[in-house]
């Protein structure tokens, strides 16, 4: 009896302590880890969200880049961080595709994290160096096939969105090309602009400005419909690659065991940030679509992640020969 009342007093104390901690949280800066290089598309989304979350949180959210090939380092770091709400992870579709691409990972997307919510969905674009000789998608395909031993495709390593898109593209055209891996598509874009690699597939959050200024050539978008910020770029689907559709969704995570009151605050702060008209406009200008409020939730992110893992595993298995 005595033991029981001691245990229940302890439970009450712990709950009270967690809720007091939650009420005070945050008392200092929060870190948002990004799995890819600064200046790239994931980093761009992170910086917009981080800045806007600072206001409702009452503390700055500092973006920290932990680039690694395929983006597999940052999730591991966040998994091992103290679950106190001061270390968060922003990541994209790679959370769902890496399990099918790696024999072993040092984190489990489905059990090592708390979910905060879905952020936005970003289409990709197939782009080539500015002096690429093809004037349209058909010429582009013909050129690639005719010069396949000389072509190079840039990506951000196995498990990155650019890797997924490239693998699906090569599989669709049944042509294996040389890939060059970077720790993010910011450095990849740098080499594409310098003409050191031939083409890549990357999010509109990184490619819109370069396409509009004509510094790179765009041959198609990976969304079902054209993107309103790039109305002249046809979809791959409408150019004959029936059903070719890749959308890069982003989510926000915290380490497993983060107290509920802290998570609640993070959820409401993220939702507040995504309501901000300047955030929505910035995303729309870059071709990104903000998820509706009902999907900016822990349950929606968890459900989506699981559904995406199940969706991509068999597709990746089929395209795997083009993975390296």
- Judged by the rule CB under 6 A, the positions of this chain that interact with ligand ASP are 36-37, 40-43, 156, 160-162, 184-186, 202-203
Within 13 Å of residue 62, how many CA atoms lie on the same side as its CB?
A: 8
Question: Please, which residues bridge with residue 126 across strands?
Answer: 201, 220
Residue with Cβ nearer ligand ASP (272 or 289):
289
Which CB, 61 or 200, lies closer to ligand ASP?
A: 200
CA distance 157 to 176: 16
In the complex, minimum distance from the CB of residue 44 to ligand ASP, in angstroms, rounded to a whole number? 8
Please state, in angstroms and rounded to a whole number, the distance separating the CA atoms of residues 250 and 288. 10
* Backbone torsions φ then ψ of 196, nearest 5 degrees: -85, -20
CB of 15 to ligand ASP, least distance (A): 39
Cα-to-chain-centroid distance, residue 284: 16
| Minimum distance of ligand ASP from residue 63's CB (angstroms) | 12
Pick between residue 222 and residue 297 the one whose CB is nearest to ligand ASP. 222
Please give the Cα distance from 274 to 186 (Å, whole number). Answer: 24
Nearer to ligand ASP, 162 or 269 (CB): 162
Closest residue to ligand ASP, judged by C-beta, is 40
CB of 142 to ligand ASP, least distance (A): 26
67 alpha-carbon distance from chain centroid: 13
On whether the CB atoms of residues 226 and 235 are closer than 8 A, the answer is: yes
Strand locations in the chain, DSSP E?
Answer: 30-34, 61-65, 87-91, 113-129, 152-155, 178-181, 199-203, 216-221, 247-255, 289-290
- Report the residue number, 25 or 312, with the smaller CB distance to ligand ASP: 312
Tell me how far, at minimum, the Cβ of 97 lies from ligand ASP, in Å. 10
Q: How far is the CB of 66 from ligand ASP (least distance, A)?
A: 12
Q: Which C-beta is closer to ligand ASP: that of 68 or that of 302?
A: 68
């Amino acid at each position: 009896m005595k033991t029981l009342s001691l245990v229940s007093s302890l439970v009450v104390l712990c709950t009270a302590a967690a809720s007091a901690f939650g009420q005070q949280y945050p008392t200092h800066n929060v870190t948002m880890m990004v799995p890819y290089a600064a200046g790239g598309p994931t980093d761009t989304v992170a910086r917009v969200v981080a800045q806007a979350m600072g206001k409702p949180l009452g503390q700055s959210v500092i973006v920290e880049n932990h680039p690694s090939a395929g983006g597999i380092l940052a999730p591991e770091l966040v998994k091992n961080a103290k679950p106190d709400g001061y270390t968060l992870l922003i990541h994209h579709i790679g959370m769902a595709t890496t399990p099918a691409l790696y024999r072993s990972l040092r984190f489990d997307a489905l059990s090592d994290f708390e979910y905060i919510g879905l952020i936005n969905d970003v289409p990709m674009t197939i782009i080539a160096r500015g002096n690429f000789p093809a004037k349209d998608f058909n010429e582009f395909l013909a050129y690639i096939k005719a010069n396949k031993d000389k072509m190079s495709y840039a990506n951000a390593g196995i498990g990155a969105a650019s890797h997924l898109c490239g693998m699906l593209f090569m599989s669709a055209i049944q042509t294996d090309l040389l890939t060059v891996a970077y720790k993010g598509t910011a450095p990849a874009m740098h080499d594409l602009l310098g003409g050191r690699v031939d083409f890549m597939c990357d999010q509109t959050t990184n490619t819109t400005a370069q396409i509009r200024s004509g510094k790179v050539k765009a041959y198609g978008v990976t969304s079902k419909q054209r993107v309103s910020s790039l109305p002249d770029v046809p979809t791959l689907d409408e150019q004959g690659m029936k059903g070719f559709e890749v959308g890069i969704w982003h989510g926000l995570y915290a380490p497993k065991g983060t107290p509920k009151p802290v998570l609640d605050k993070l959820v409401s702060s993220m939702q507040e940030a995504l309501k901000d008209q300047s955030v929505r406009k910035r995303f729309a200008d870059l071709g990104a679509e903000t998820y509706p409020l009902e999907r900016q939730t822990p349950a929606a992110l968890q459900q989506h992640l699981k559904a995406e893992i199940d969706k991509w595993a068999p597709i990746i298995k089929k395209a795997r020969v083009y993975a390296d």
